[in-house]
């Protein structure tokens, strides 16, 4: 036993010597809604802000060597449905010189170049009236598996190249991996602004037989899977028969995107601009163009987005955002929102926003609102309570665990209690 203890102590000393800096941290947000209404009945539930269930715990490990030339990042998520699993990062990094860094693993490129503007309900139960997230609103390189190289040849310039590799290991055709890789460049002009451009590979080749699929769009409610037409029934018997036979499915508000024939996709190109040189103002604009050999009715051709946050006083901030999705032969989808953040006292704050999704020809619009009161009860935690509502069959969060509207024209609401913790 003494020999075993001694061996363990020696291993610990060697580990401490090799990895002089070990950091552990976490960020958690759980929304508990003891009262929620789906347009038909009162319910109770809990969710992540982003949906897909509940994350009860998480922890992030970061190792850095004594000479700060190698390290590792690893996230562990404790999700209710799937148990413990890896999160945004499971990667090693190597930086032999100041102007070059290599990373290998699963990498969340949110740290690199992303154009965010998060406010209001994005930190509560997120309503489903958006097509572009607050995170990556104007520019987003996404999450990737593989080898990533970063170069910093001169002050302010960053060049990032990522070779896509099979997420679970193994080998794949080189030309296919290149087609799904990315390259991005950003240049920061002092303290004034940053300009960004990127190409994100996303190759696929749909033939005429496999391309007849639809994605959710248009009016929310029950739709036939075969052609996307709205489903209506005279009695519940026919409804349940169609449901059991897999003929219908429920669609939340979204975008019509039928693919009517053969199509090759090559990914997308992005450009972004972030202004930070004006005191108390953050401004971000960007555009994305889908690269395909042929567009079909309802296909996304391009996206443009912009957002700004302005801290008017020490205790009052204003945020606005808007985006337009340009679609083939269909009126553009548009989302817009405005939010405020008010410091009531040193520990109490008020958050509120109103968001809208629709198009210039739509007779129905999806509107959401949120009012939340937050108490910073600790240097490492906060509690909040809010009231949120959505219109026209628009629910909250995403995935199978979301609060979905019971009817296509339903008004939904929730009274969430927000628990936040970080260390």
Confidence bin at 400 (pLDDT 50/70/90): confident
Question: b vs e for 23-47, b when ≥16 Cβ sit within 10 Å of the residue's Cβ?
Answer: eeeeebbbbebeebbbbeeeeebbb
In this prediction, residues 124-151 reach a mean pLDDT of 95
Torsion of CA 375, 116, 29, 366, to 10 degrees: 90
Give the DSSP H or E segment for 352: strand 348-359
Which pLDDT does position 1 carry in this prediction?
45
Which pLDDT does position 251 carry in this prediction?
59
Residues 23-36 have pLDDT tens digits of: 999 999 999 999 99
Q: Residue 171: exposed, middle, or buried by beta-carbon count in 10 A (0-12, 13-18, 19+)?
A: exposed
For the chain, give the mean pLDDT. 87
Confidence bin at 14 (pLDDT 50/70/90): very low
pTM of the model: 0.84
N- to C-terminal Cα distance for the chain?
A: 36
| Res 311 pLDDT > 60 | yes
* C-alpha pair distances (Å), 390 with each of 37, 120, 166, 364, 403: 10, 14, 40, 13, 11
- Of the candidates 130, 41, 44, which has an alpha carbon nearest to the alpha carbon of residue 406? 41
Could you say which DSSP state residue 179 is in? H
Confidence bin at 261 (pLDDT 50/70/90): low
Which pLDDT does position 212 carry in this prediction?
45
Greatest Cα pair distance in the chain: 78
Question: Which parts of 98-132 are beta strand (E)?
Answer: 100-108
The least confident of 76-90, 146-160, 309-323, 383-397 is 76-90
Residues 332-341 have pLDDT tens digits of: 999 999 999 9
d(CA 257, CA 255): 6
Confidence bin at 299 (pLDDT 50/70/90): confident
* C-alpha pair distances (Å), 121 with each of 63, 75, 255, 321, 399: 34, 25, 21, 13, 18
Which pLDDT does position 249 carry in this prediction?
64
Q: What count of residues does the chain have?
A: 423
Helices (H) and strands (E) counted in the chain, each on its own, are 3, 22
Residues 62-75 have pLDDT tens digits of: 999 999 999 999 99
């Amino acid at each position: 036993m003494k020999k075993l203890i001694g061996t363990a102590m020696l291993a610990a000393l060697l580990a401490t010597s090799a990895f002089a800096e070990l950091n552990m941290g976490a960020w958690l947000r759980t929304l508990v809604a003891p009262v929620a209404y789906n347009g038909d009945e009162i319910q109770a539930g809990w969710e992540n802000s982003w949906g897909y269930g509940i994350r009860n715990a998480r922890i992030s490990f970061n190792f850095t060597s004594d000479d700060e030339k190698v390290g590792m990042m690893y996230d562990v998520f404790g999700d209710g449905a799937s148990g413990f699993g890896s999160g945004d990062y499971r990667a090693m990094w190597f930086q032999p010189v100041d102007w070059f860094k290599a990373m290998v693993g699963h990498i969340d490129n949110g740290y690199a170049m992303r154009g965010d503007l998060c406010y209001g309900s994005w930190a509560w139960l997120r309503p489903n009236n958006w097509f572009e997230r607050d995170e990556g609103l104007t520019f987003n390189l996404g999450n990737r598996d593989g080898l990533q190289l970063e170069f910093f040849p001169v002050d302010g310039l960053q060049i990032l190249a990522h070779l896509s590799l099979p997420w679970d290991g193994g080998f794949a055709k080189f030309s296919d991996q290149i087609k799904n890789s990315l390259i991005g460049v950003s240049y920061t002009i002092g303290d004034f602004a940053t300009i960004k451009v990127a190409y994100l590979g996303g190759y696929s080749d749909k033939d005429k037989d496999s391309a007849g699929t639809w994605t959710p769009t248009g009016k929310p409610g029950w739709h036939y899977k075969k052609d996307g037409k709205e489903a209506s029934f005279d009695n519940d018997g026919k409804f349940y028969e169609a449901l059991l036979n897999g003929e219908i499915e429920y669609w939340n508000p979204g975008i019509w995107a039928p693919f009517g024939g053969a199509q090759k996709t090559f990914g997308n190109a992005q450009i972004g601009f972030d202004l930070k040189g004006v005191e108390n103002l953050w401004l971000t604009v960007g555009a994305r163009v889908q690269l395909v050999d042929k567009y079909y009715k309802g296909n996304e051709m391009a996206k443009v987005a912009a957002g700004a946050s302005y801290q008017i006083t020490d205790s009052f901030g204003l945020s606005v955002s808007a985006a337009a999705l340009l679609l083939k032969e269909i009126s553009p989808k548009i989302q817009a929102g405005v939010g405020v953040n008010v410091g009531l006292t040193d520990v109490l704050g008020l958050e509120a926003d109103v968001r809208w999704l629709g198009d210039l020809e739509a007779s129905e619009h999806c509107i959401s609102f949120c009012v939340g009161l937050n108490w910073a009860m600790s240097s490492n935690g906060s509690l909040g309570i809010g009231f949120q509502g959505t219109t026209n069959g628009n629910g909250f969060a995403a995935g199978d665990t979301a609060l979905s509207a019971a009817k296509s024209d339903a008004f939904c609401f929730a009274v969430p209690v927000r628990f936040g913790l970080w260390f």
